[in-house]
Structure 1
């Protein structure tokens, strides 16, 4: 079973909306997940606007892919590189630590992520 950044079992990030690379609700990963959808975040209006401005519109529904669009208050398995980009721009969303994959620690220190804990 996959581990979270706190060393426990990886818990679900969200099943409504359904998230994760595998669309199983968890921010689990494997080599095919080139985007590293490994960090569970809480959506805010500000972050959704930031992401859209960066070319990744997460708010607009895309029914052909079964995507209902995200709104503030939703949890989502975000690509690690987008969170880092948002952090560097001062727009990083809050992180659900228990639902964030342990592999994130290869790129960001736990103490830093704890500053953004939901």
Structure 2
């Protein structure tokens, strides 16, 4: 998918999720639908303490810096492109983080319904 075709779940042009820290499969700030991304890092989410604890318990510690991967570690309030399957697991466990619809890839709608996205929409104002 080319940049000109990147749409969000609202059907509008995709906006950056986070440039500091730089997120996305390509570390360009965007949560895009990329064929090579088997993890599907397409949901722009606002990190919460509950989600960070949950994902660490599942074996993916997003709090700890990994300089060798140019990963600074995340804190509550940071925005990050999370994997669709992990977000769905967290929702099932009642600890899914808020979603930033403007920065979440349209392709997410194949797995997360619009009503759910609206219910989890982050207050971005």
Tell me the TM-score normalized by structure 1: 0.98
**What are the Cα deviations for residues 31-61 of structure 1, in whole angstroms up to 9, with x where unaligned?**
1000000000000111100100011000000
| 8 Å contact kept, 1:86–1:92 | yes
* Structure 1 match to 2:72: 68
Q: What is the root-mean-square deviation in Å for CA atoms of aligned residues? A: 0.6
Q: Does 1:38 align with 2:45?
A: no
- When normalised by structure 2's length, the TM-score is 0.93
List, as ranges, runs of 4+ consecutive aligned residues in structure 1 with deviation greater than 2 Å.
none
Listed as ranges, the gaps of 5+ residues in structure 1 are none
Q: Which runs of 5+ in 2 are unaligned?
A: none
- Aligned length in residues: 118
Q: Which residue matches 1:5?
A: 9
- Name the structure 2 match of 1:87: 91
